[in-house]
A = this chain, B = another copy of it.
Amino acid sequence: MASQQFEPPSGTRDFLAGALRTREAVFARVRQVFERYGFEPLQTPAFERLETLTGKYGDEGDKLIFKILRRGDHEATGEADLALRYDMTVPLARVVASYGSQLPTPYKRFAMGPVWRADRPGKGRFREFAQCDVDVVGSVSPLADAEVVCALTDALDAAGVRDYRVLVNSRQALTGLLESYGVPVDLGGGVLITLDKLDKLSPEKVVAELVDARSLTPGIAEALVGDLTAADAVERMQIRLKGSEAGRAGLEEVGRLLELAAPKVGDDRIAFTPSLVRGLDYYTGVIFEVVAEGMPGSIASGGRYDGLIAALGGPDVPACGGSLGVERIIGLLGDDQSDAHRTDVAVTVIAEDTGSEVMDFAARLRDAGLRTEVYLAASRKLAKQLKWAADRRARFALIYGASDKEAGMITVRDMDTGEQAQVPTHELAAHLTERCAPSR
């Protein structure tokens, strides 16, 4: 049988202890931050009714939905009625629609867990991957936007990400930008999609694409790209945007977010970025992305999306939120090799008839909170059992031979130094609790 058959399905991963602990440590730290901000956890099912999901992610998104075949007699139809969760936002809209008045107002929730997309698997791109979202549903206050940005950047700090920058813009500012350069309204969407590539393509290539693919006149394209990539782009844009109503409203939105969030995030880590677009067209207010040195793309992003909950089938409520690129962050960390998960005590089993005593020692040590493992393999050789204790990265090994037993003692071996001490069995738990304490 090919070994491939034992691998997890394409685009998915098995997490053994070390990798899983790294993931869970990141989730725990992020979660603690979200809770401190008063966001509440929400967990929805892995799958939703198919009709809840279809039509919500565009044609390209719909193709990536994992659909679940109907069951029983209906299986033969080849039809699907359920589908795996594609993101955390559509389930949020359904929950807001379903539980309405039972939820706090505004409803501040976080969601952490896997989502599934039938994307072509690749380096760092998975079909099962974790999302980590915070959203505020039911508030138009700029404080809500600021809270989302601060919660996400606080979470990045907690996860150990340094040297990041928060790029801020607004949909209204983008509308004002297009107006100001005389971009025809019907070309606006395409122009923004191309402008979004300014962080990846050269200005010349962006101009070329604006002209060739977006039907913009060369004059407008060059002026737009020239200003956006100038050293004083922000100043140029501020002047430009002040010339239109949408532009002024956008500048005001951005200014308010900076005023509220910058003291916490740090003035040098957050800035108005007029070229920031964000592909998704459901944003209605401020938008932001967090980028970090050495990481491609963004490690967090979000914005205000006042119409989305209604568009997804929920009630017409304002909302804003953001997402942490938690897989990217975890990808930078290695397996957890910390001492936090070392075995404290490994109990060897040398003599054939000491099983009950060994279970008793282990029980007392575990009751005292020590991570304790009992030798479960067949060998009765001490050397082999001590090798096992070393493999388990045990701090201490217990050796309980016939002579120990007679004397009512047990031998405690420090696995780091090799030193051995005899301890009365009834003092074992106290002895080891004390010796394990300083390094715990």
Contact = CB atoms under 8 A, between A and B. Distances in A.
A239 B298 CA distance: 72
Interface in A47-61: 47-49, 51-52
A77 to B, nearest CB: 7
Contacts of A162: none
Given A67-B69, A80-B69, A372 B37 contact: yes
B259 A46 contact: no
A366 to B, nearest CB: 5
Given A141-B349, A143-B358, A154-B366, 15 more contacts: A9-B48, A14-B43, A15-B43, A16-B40, A16-B102, A37-B366, A45-B128, A47-B128, A66-B69, A105-B377, A138-B377, A140-B378, A146-B355, A150-B363, A263-B359
A17 B34 CA distance: 13
A376 B143 contact: yes
Contact of A259 (B84, B142, B147, B355): B355
B78 A376 contact: no
Given A263-B360, A356-B260, A359-B263, A84 B36 contact: no
A3 B99 CA distance: 10
Given A35-B371, A36-B371, A37-B366, A45 B143 contact: no
Interface stretch (A90-98, A173-181, A395-403): A90-98
Contact of A264 (B13, B52, B95, B363): B363
Interface string A403-438: 000000000000000000000000000000000000
Contacts of A359: 143, 146, 150, 260-261, 263-264
Contacts of A225: none
B17 A95 contact: no
Given A47-B12, A80-B69, A376 B144 contact: yes
A218 interface: no
A44 interface: yes
A109 B94 CA distance: 36
Contacts of A76: 78
B41 A8 contact: no
Nearest to A138: B377
14 contacts: A3-B98, A5-B313, A6-B97, A8-B94, A14-B42, A14-B43, A14-B98, A17-B109, A20-B43, A46-B84, A66-B69, A66-B82, A143-B375, A256-B355
Q: Which of A66, A374, A391 has the largest count of B CB atoms less than 10 A from its CB?
A: A374
A307 interface: no
A16 B36 contact: no
Interface string A3-36: 1011111001111110011001000000000011
A369 interface: yes
B68 A66 contact: yes
Interface string A136-158: 10111111101100100010000
A71 interface: yes
A121 to B, nearest CB: 12
B13 A45 contact: yes
Contact of A356 (B1, B43, B84, B259): B259
Contacts of A301: none
Contact of A17 (B40, B146, B376, B378): B40
A48 B8 CA distance: 7
Closest 9 CB pairs of A and B: A78-B78, A38-B373, A12-B45, A6-B98, A17-B40, A139-B376, A6-B97, A15-B43, A67-B69
Interface in A82-131: 82, 84, 91, 94-95, 97-99, 102-106, 108-109, 114, 116, 118, 128
A72 interface: yes
A286 B272 CA distance: 67
Contacts of A377: 105-106, 138-139, 141
